[in-house]
Structures are given as structure tokens and as C-alpha cells.
Amino acid sequence: MKAISLGGRKSGRGGTLHVLGSDLAARIEAGETLLSAAVRGNIPFPHMCNVGECGTCKCRLVTGHIRLKRDISRHVTPEELSAGFVLACQSLAMSEDVAVEVPGMGRGRSTDPAPVQIDASVARVTPLAPGVLALEVDLAAEVRYVAGQVAQLTVPGAPGLGEPRCYSFAEAPARASPRRALFHVRHVPGGAFTDWLFAADRTGARLCFSGPHGGFRYHAADRPLLCVAGGTGLSPIKAILEQGIADGLACDVTLVVGARTQQDLYALDAITSLKERWRGRFAFVPVLSQEPEGSRWTGRKGHVTDYLCEVAAGHADRAAYVCGPPGMIDAVLDVLRGVIPPKHLHYDRFLDRGSAALGPSSAA
Ligand code: FES
């Protein structure tokens, strides 16, 4: 059966969306996106942005027909498209029944912790750098997640703050308290949530927590690691490296962090702690793109891609984890694709009001 039809006609009737290898299924209406049907049917389908920007909802269409809403080539190569890979949020059902394979889901149940929606409150807010806060949140129940995943936060009852904002967990799940979660939050001027958070002391404020979500996560693998972070993209990378320490990884790791100036480099104590606890060789490479001439900075200047272009060939045996704003991710992927095999190249785009025209699950 030809799985993907770019110009097909709707069947006119709804049908069923099946997640192969599991007992998960949901009603799907004709012309509805696969992701919309999955979410409505309480299938814990990995997703973040809903608008084709993050790539989290990539799955493989095995049976049925879909029509793509937009070009998905940024996340799906022509070879992958031929093999049936699509973005669930950009795939409209054109046949009654559709079956997909979803990475991380299968064998009767999702292998991911199931997302929960629970009450939460602001426990503590700590400045990390200009325009960046550590946000600690008390949770009404224990929450399980995989390092690299995200949670959605809303402020109930506050005008304009009901739209979910996605933030990565900034600690490995084996944290001190399973009822507390830590996030790094960058202020996005004009972003309702961060304008609210940065405007006053919000300790004790009520939040609504939903999570975990997202397909970016730690994969236990016996390969050296190349981690690349831009801005608060450091938060999931930190969680992943903490998980590697908890798992006793002894491979080499190179952590490349891009920032504008020295002031914008944050969590340096946490990086030093990671370096001290890591069992293998740990190289930390900060790269500053806008450090003023004449400063005392003796480290690298330029963009992270300048550094990666120099070293990529020597890192072909690595598993890469890349997290940051979309422009940085695209530039880094341009360097690393063709060097690191796709199955070892993991990335997460941080989306905000300044980086894309977004749907309801974006960060701001
Ligand atoms: Fe589909 Fe982001 S690309 S949820």
C-alpha cells in the first residue's frame, strides 16, 4: 500500500488511529491531524509545538493515507519520507484507518512515563544570568520523566496566561524530591508567561503542570558524547549528563555551550560539578559570539558551528545531543548531518515568540 498521498481526497468518514506494537488506538476524523486524534484519545504521543517546528512528533506511517499540511523537509529527509516517516502534527488523515509506529512506544504500552496534569506552585525563583532564572516548582504528586523531556506550565486564572509554555526539566529524574521540578527560564520580552514571571516575586503562585512531553531524551548508549547547547538549551543537556553520571557512563564527553558574552554563560558551577563527577574525559568548550573586543576572555569566540566545523570529523563516533534556538539547531545540523549517523543525532529546538510563528505549545 502506498502510505503517503500528497493530494489524496478525504474518505469522508472517520476511522481509527492505531499505534503499532501497542494497544493504543483513538478515533480519528477525516481530515484531522494524526496528532490531534492521538491527543484527544489520550495517547501519550510525543509532541511539543503542534506546528511542524520541533520535529518531536516524527513517526512512521505503516498503513493508511495522509496528506501533508506543509513541507516537512526540515525534519524528514527524502529517504525518510520514502520510508513513511512523517510529522503527526502535519499529517491529515485521508483514509479511514491509519497505523503508525512511534519511537519509544510499543510492546503493549508506551515505554515513556505517562503525562499527568496536576496542580503545582512556584517554590523558588533564583537568578542565573541576565534574563535567565532557575524556576523550582512544587508538584501535587510525584512525576516521572526521562532526562531531556519537557513539561508545560500555565498560570490558572491569570488573563493571557492560560496558554501552555514548554520548559525542559533541568535535572535528571533521580532528583532529591520527585515532587519538585527544576526549569531554566529565559525572559522573552513580550512573552506573557515570562513577562509575568520576571515582573515580581512569584513564590507560592499557583501553576498547572502537564508532563512529561517530548521526544528529545537521553538514550543510554556506549558511545562518546557530543553535547551542544545554546542559551537555556543547556537545561536538558545538563539533565542528560546528570543521567549519564547516575548510569555510570565512563565515555568521553565534549560539552559545547554557545552564548553571546561571558555574562550570558550561566550554570558554570553546575558544569564544573558535572565535570568533576563524570567518570570519563570531560571537555567543556564555551563559545562566545558577541564578547567585546579587548575583554579578558581567553576562550573561543565566534559561533558554536565554527568550532564544530573544526572538530566534527573527529567526532563521527559520537552520539550528539543538541538543544537551543531553531537557527542554531539548523546550523549545527548542517555541520553534523553526514558525520554522525541519524540514529545518534538527537536535537530539540527551543521555540519562543521570537523564533517562530507558533501553535499552542510553544515556550515564551
Ligand atoms: Fe509536530 Fe512539533 S513538529 S509537534
Blockwise average pLDDT, block size 10, the chain, 364 residues: 47 81 88 91 81 86 90 86 90 91 64 80 96 97 92 86 84 87 94 93 94 82 92 96 94 97 96 97 97 94 96 93 91 93 85 40 30
Ligand 1 geometric centre to CA of 361 (Å): 9
Ligand 1 geometric centre to CA of 92 (Å): 13
| Cell digits of residue 199 | 515582573
**Closest atom of ligand 1 relative to the 47 alpha carbon:** 4
Q: Is residue 348 lining ligand 1, measured as CB closer than 6 Å?
A: no
Ligand 1 geometric centre to CA of 159 (Å): 26
Ligand 1 geometric centre to CA of 88 (Å): 7
Preceding omega of 286 cis (within 30 degrees of 0): no
Domains by residue range for the chain, with CATH: 2-101 (3.10.20.30), 116-213 (2.40.30.10), 225-349 (3.40.50.80)
Query: Residue 104 has what pLDDT?
Result: 66
Query: Residue 115 has what pLDDT?
Result: 76
- Closest alpha carbon to 22 in 148, 112, 137, 142: 112
Query: Residue 107 has what pLDDT?
Result: 53
Residue 107 phi, psi dihedral angles, 5° rounding? 50, 55
**Closest atom of ligand 1 relative to the 89 alpha carbon:** 1
Q: Is residue 214 lining ligand 1, measured as CB closer than 6 Å?
A: no
| Amino acid at position 284, single letter | F
Distance CA(185)–CA(201), nearest Å, equals 15
Which residue, by CA, sits nearest to atom 3 of ligand 1?
52
Global confidence as pTM: 0.76
| pLDDT tens, residue by residue, 7-41 | 445 556 778 999 987 788 999 998 899 999 998 88
Ligand 1 geometric centre to CA of 51 (Å): 6
**Closest atom of ligand 1 relative to the 75 alpha carbon:** 3
Query: Residue 44 has what pLDDT?
Result: 77
